[in-house]
Amino acid sequence: MKKAVFFFVFLSLAVIVFGQSTEYRDACRRIIYAVNPVEAIGALDGATLTRLGRFALGIPVAGQVALNATDTELFSFLATMEMTRRDLTRDAFSLHIQEERERLAPLMRRQGDVSIFIKQSSWLDLFQLNLMFAN
C-alpha cells in the first residue's frame, strides 16, 4: 500500500514538473532572437500579438512556463512598439520612435549591463528603416 501511495505521489509530481508546456515561451523567444525581430513580430496577426504580449507581461497562461526577466522586457518592448506602429500614422509613429530614443539614451549611459537597452535601440533603428522604406 505504501508503495502504491509513493508511486502515485511521485507520478503526480513528475506530471506537475515536466508537464508544463513551453509553446508561448518558445514563440516569444523565436521572435526576440530572430535575425530580424521587427519583421518577425510584424508578421503576427493582432490576436496572436495580443496573446503573446499579455503572456510576456506576466499574465499567466495555464501550464505555460514563464519567460525570464530579460526576455520579458525585450518581448514587451517589441510588442508595445508593434502595437503602437499599428495604431499610429507614419508621422506619429516616427515621432514615437524619437521619443523612445530619448527615453533610452540616459539608460544606455548607466554603469553595468546595458545590453538590453542597446538591443532595444537597434530595434528602434529597424523600425525606423521599415518606416522609411514602407510603401
Q: How far is residue 49's CA from residue 6's CA, in Å, rounded to a whole number?
A: 43
Q: Global pTM?
A: 0.80
| pLDDT confidence of residue 102 | 94
Q: Which residue has the higher pLDDT, 3 or 101?
A: 101
| pLDDT confidence of residue 4 | 59
Residue 130 CB contacts under 8 Å (≥ 6 apart), including other chains: 38, 39, 42
Residue 86 exposed, middle or buried by CB count within 10 Å (0-12, 13-18, 19+): exposed
| pLDDT confidence of residue 93 | 96
Contact 31, 75 (CB under 8 A): yes
pLDDT at residue 15 tops 50 = no
- For the segment 35-54, the average pLDDT, to the nearest whole number, is 93
Torsion of CA 37, 129, 106, 73, to 10 degrees: -20
Percent of the chain whose predicted confidence (pLDDT) is above 90: 55
| pLDDT confidence of residue 6 | 55
| Three-class secondary structure of residue 21 per DSSP | strand
pLDDT at residue 103 tops 50 = yes
- For the segment 120-129, the average pLDDT, to the nearest whole number, is 94
- For the segment 70-95, the average pLDDT, to the nearest whole number, is 94
